[in-house]
């Protein structure tokens, strides 16, 4: 109970579109990079859905580039370094 608000049921939570697919791709990448396996077998959906799944990381990058201008991306990337150099926390 936060500030008198009722708890949310799990059915009320809406996942971010593509989050499950992105998690699967990350798990696949991690498994491939771990070198624990000699062979990875991946069962994919039919071609159109498989291509959309495999294109998801590039689509997310493209979307974020459109959403965040390059100057803001650079500032965000440099913020931790500048904070350490200046010796003060940088605003988020």
73 found inside a domain: yes
71 found inside a domain: yes
Could you give phi then psi for residue 11, rounded to 5 degrees?
Answer: -70, -20
pLDDT at 90: 64
Residue 4 structure tokens: 């008198």
3 found inside a domain: no
- Rounded to whole angstroms, the Cα distance separating 2 from 27 reads 34
Per residue in 23-62, pLDDT (tens digit) is 888 999 999 999 899 999 989 889 988 898 888 888 888 8
User: Mean pLDDT in the chain?
Assistant: 80
Count of domains for the chain: 1
Q: Determine how many CB atoms are found less than 10 A away from the CB of residue 1.
A: 6
Q: Is the pLDDT of residue 83 over 70?
A: yes
Could you give phi then psi for residue 74, rounded to 5 degrees?
Answer: -65, -45
66 found inside a domain: yes
Residue 32 structure tokens: 């491939």
pTM (two decimals): 0.51
Residue predicted with more confidence, 8 or 41? 41
61 found inside a domain: yes
> For residue 61, what are the domain limits?
18-32+49-82
41 found inside a domain: no
């Amino acid at each position: 109970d936060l500030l008198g608000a009722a708890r949310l049921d799990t059915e009320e939570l809406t996942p971010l579109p593509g989050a499950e697919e992105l998690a699967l791709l990350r798990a696949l990448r991690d498994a491939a990079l771990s070198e624990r396996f000699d062979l990875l077998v991946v069962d994919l959906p039919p071609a159109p859905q498989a291509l959309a799944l495999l294109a998801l990381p590039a689509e997310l990058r493209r979307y974020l580039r459109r959403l965040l201008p390059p100057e803001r991306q650079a500032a965000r990337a440099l913020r931790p370094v500048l904070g350490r150099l200046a010796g003060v926390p940088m605003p988020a």
